Amino acid sequence: MVIAVAAIVLAVELTLVWDQLAKAWKSVYSANWWWVLAAVVAAMSSMHSFAQIQRTLLRSAGVTVKQWRSEAAFYAGNALSTTLPGGPVLSATFIYRQQRIWGASPVVASWQLVMSGALQVVGLALLGLGGAFMLGASKNPLSLIFSLGGFLALIVLAQAVATRPELIDGIGVRLLSWFNSLRGKPADTGLTKWRETLTQLESVSLSRRELGVAFGWSLFNWIADVACLLFACYATGAHPSLAGVTVAYAAARAVGSIPLMPGGLLVVEAVLVPGLVSSGMTLASAISAMLIYRLISWIFISAIGWVVFFFVFRTEKDIDPDATVGDDVEQPPQFSPDPEVRHEPEPER
């Protein structure tokens, strides 16, 4: 029933704006291909930043990853996330598994995913606030000051937890004791596991410099993606305001994070087009710019990701990163997906 209603609404909307869609499609054919190429470079630069965030965070935990391996994982993970139902969960599981194969402990791999996500959220919010400020939010600077203060507090807290996990030991013990009392169990139930987790987390040595580098790459990721959208607008011959494009982008990304459809299909477009129109573009140009941007940042990047997935990671399906090897059992050498690692041939029987 819901799908039928959505189909009817979509059909009515297409009928109302059909002439604008026709103009937009013609505009795509007549786009300035130099600006389209610039948009492609910006989109790939955005993907590059994801790998840099991961490498910086893992390096602080003593896990070294080659750049090409990290980028390949993120291209493949992005393809899973943006093209499959339940993609974000599949992508997070895939990235977690890759990090375990690279040598990260379960705690460190989980910490990297959470920390990376937090930096991404802060970066996007800061970008949106910057666009709103340029649009006239300077009339109410207190809200901007409080928001920035909250972001800085979050970063300082994350850095404190990453560098001195013992600071949260007392809080964790009290919460665990309270939770055990509710369940009618001894107060120290689960305490050993909690402190084992903290011990693993102590392997992370995230300095202020490394945190700053990771956050810088996180912010660059959003800036590069905004540049991709802006270049797509320029490719249509339009010249929207930078602030308007930034706010439209931040709003579209925010609603696109809601996992209703793969890649935010229809949801992102429904928010992005009106935002571009409010930035000074005609409806036809806004639709054309949206099509160019989505073809590059979603279809093109996802296609690269699937190619990478099948040619780089399809041989890893039988690798279990959590497998334990018994001391009294001789195990055959395990295949490594890294071609730069030397593999000893199996002895002839």
pLDDT digits (tens, 9 = 90+) for 142-155: 445 544 555 556 55
Cα pseudo-dihedral 98, 151, 166, 198, rounded to 10: -20
What pLDDT digit, counting tens, does each position of 25-53 carry?
666 677 888 999 999 999 999 999 989 99
Q: Is the dihedral of CA 225, 231, 232, 233 positive or negative?
A: positive
- Band the pLDDT of 198: cuts 50, 70, 90: low
Cβ–Cβ under 8 Å, residues 338 and 69: yes
Cβ–Cβ under 8 Å, residues 201 and 165: yes
Residue 139: pLDDT over 50 = no
pLDDT above 70: percentage of residues in the chain:
66
Please classify residue 148 by burial: count the beta carbons closer than 10 Å to its beta carbon, then call 0-12 exposed, 13-18 middle and 19+ buried: middle
Residue 313: pLDDT over 70 = yes
Cα–Cα distance, 349 to 334 (Å, whole number): 18
- Band the pLDDT of 288: cuts 50, 70, 90: confident
| Tokens matching residue 220 | 């660059």
What pLDDT digit, counting tens, does each position of 7-24 carry?
565 566 556 556 655 665
> What is the per-residue pLDDT for 297?
92
Cβ–Cβ under 8 Å, residues 154 and 162: no
Q: What is the mean pLDDT of the chain?
A: 76
Among 54-68, 222-236, 263-277, 305-319, name the most confident range. Answer: 222-236
Cα–Cα distance, 104 to 290 (Å, whole number): 39
What pLDDT digit, counting tens, does each position of 59-73 carry?
888 888 998 999 999
Residue 226: pLDDT over 90 = yes
Residue 252: pLDDT over 60 = yes
- What integer is the mean pLDDT of 97-118? 85
> What is the per-residue pLDDT for 172?
67
- Band the pLDDT of 161: cuts 50, 70, 90: low
